Copies of this chain bind each other. A is one copy, B any other.
Amino acid sequence: MFFTSDNASGAAPEIMAAVARANEGFARSYGADDIMVRVKAQIRQIFEAPEAAVYLVAVGTAANALALASHCQPWGAVFAHTDAHIAVDECGAPEFFTSGAKLVPVDGAHGKMTPETLAQTLGRIGESGVHGVQRGMISITNVTEAGTVYTAAEVAALTAVAKTHGLPCHMDGARFTNSLVTTNTSAADMTWAAGIDVLTFGGTKNGCLGVEAVVIFDPAKAWEFELRRKRGGHLFSKHRFLSAQMEAYLTDDLWLRLANHANAMGGRLARGIKALPDVHLRHPVQANMLFPEWAAGTHARLEAKGAAYYQMPAPEGREGARLVASWNTTEAEVDLLLDALKS
């Protein structure tokens, strides 16, 4: 019963097989491999963005930080939700890659900024001329850290606020595919059509070994991104092994199938939990992450039965948890956890 994180799962067999297959003969290094030519075409087609610049890196933090640095000056403010990964879980990588930009937290229930909270926070920054940091860009995480999902319309409403200040808009899509599946939205509608300029398109958490695409819808930023990637130590020499993962991921809708499964398992778990007395779900369950709160003592009982997950702070007498379903979580595992909770 492993619900710690979708990055505790391994790679989907199709993806592992593709990596093995890529290991034949010689290949041009540093992104000039043949597979990457096909990956670019795949992504441009999926996103209906024939001009988009497409790059691969192995780590989500790198994808985010490079995307931000390519769109925000050192004296810029990056507006993101208070709990955003870039703000709290990357050890200052955005500050490092941007040479010192400031992350400005935007509030909002269930991990989501609202046009109102964003507008209000934007209004507080950049009004003092040269004395304060300048409005730089916004970053929207979808799926959010709370496991909730922005619809394309909600994304568009946020980017509309940003655009009134001329700000570029980033989406941290470490779990991007899960958000598409939840909302039954196309990749294009969730991104450039909704005002997103640059996307971290995650593969790692959804069944790859370690690969994230950065999709830049305005190719004018492409060369700067390439230099930043190299300078950041994120340009792979044997790049084919990144390309192969992404190619397999995008072939035959594997990316969608994997996310669909993870979301389904999240939903099954949520339905089961909702039926239990004395367990409260802190956030709506819209993808593959759940944040239950239950009576004190439950952790010990679940641990004894072999359940693994992150514990979260909770009020006196209660316990909090984060449960993440993955591309390879089974119904049996879900049901085992539910049984353990019931007992």
State the A residues within 8 Å of B (CB): 2, 4-5, 7-11, 16, 19-20, 22-30, 57-66, 73-75, 88-93, 95-103, 128, 130-134, 204-205, 209-210, 224, 226-238, 240-241, 308
In the complex, which of the residues B19, B25, B132 contacts A88, with contact meaning CB atoms closer than 8 Å? Answer: B132
A74 to B92, CA, bound (A): 8
Q: Is the CB of B62 within 8 A of A231?
A: no
**Interface hub of A4, A20, A100 (most chain B Cβ within 10 A):** A100
A224 to B238, CA, bound (A): 28
A59 to B57, CA, bound (A): 11
Chain B residues positioned under 8 Å from A131 (CB to CB): 30, 88-91, 230
Q: Is the CB of B241 within 8 A of A209?
A: yes
Q: How far is the CB of A312 from chain B (nearest CB, A)?
A: 12
| Given known A95-B102, A101-B92, A131-B91, contact A210–B231 (CB-CB < 8 A) | no
A8 to B64, CA, bound (A): 28
Q: How far is the CB of A226 from chain B (nearest CB, A)?
A: 5
A93 to B103, CA, bound (A): 14
A134 to B227, CA, bound (A): 9
Chain B residues positioned under 8 Å from A204 (CB to CB): 237-238
Q: Is the CB of A74 within 8 A of B231?
A: yes
Identical chains in the assembly: 4
| Given known A95-B95, A132-B88, contact A25–B7 (CB-CB < 8 A) | no
Q: How far is the CB of A158 from chain B (nearest CB, A)?
A: 23
A229 to B240, CA, bound (A): 23
In the complex, which of the residues B90, B95, B132, B240 contacts A89, with contact meaning CB atoms closer than 8 Å? Answer: B132
Chain B residues positioned under 8 Å from A128 (CB to CB): 88-89
A58 to B232, CA, bound (A): 12
Chain B residues positioned under 8 Å from A103 (CB to CB): 102
Q: Is the CB of B57 within 8 A of A29?
A: no
**6 A–B contact pairs at CB < 8 A?**
A61-B230, A61-B235, A92-B101, A93-B233, A96-B100, A97-B233
| Given known A59-B237, A93-B233, contact A23–B16 (CB-CB < 8 A) | yes
Q: Is the CB of A8 within 8 A of B20?
A: no
In the complex, which of the residues B65, B75, B241 contacts A227, with contact meaning CB atoms closer than 8 Å? Answer: B75
A64 to B103, CA, bound (A): 20
Q: Is the CB of B241 within 8 A of A210?
A: yes
Minimum CB distance partner of A7 in chain B: B237
Q: Is the CB of A130 within 8 A of B20?
A: no
Q: Is the CB of B23 within 8 A of A10?
A: yes
Minimum CB distance partner of A97 in chain B: B233
Q: Is the CB of A74 within 8 A of B99?
A: yes
Q: Is the CB of B16 within 8 A of A20?
A: yes
Minimum CB distance partner of A1 in chain B: B26
Q: Is the CB of B238 within 8 A of A10?
A: yes
A22 to B8, CA, bound (A): 12
Known: A10-B238, A91-B227, A93-B232. 18 other contacts (CB 8 A): A7-B29, A10-B22, A20-B20, A30-B130, A58-B58, A59-B233, A59-B237, A74-B231, A75-B91, A88-B132, A91-B130, A91-B133, A95-B102, A99-B100, A130-B226, A131-B230, A209-B241, A233-B234
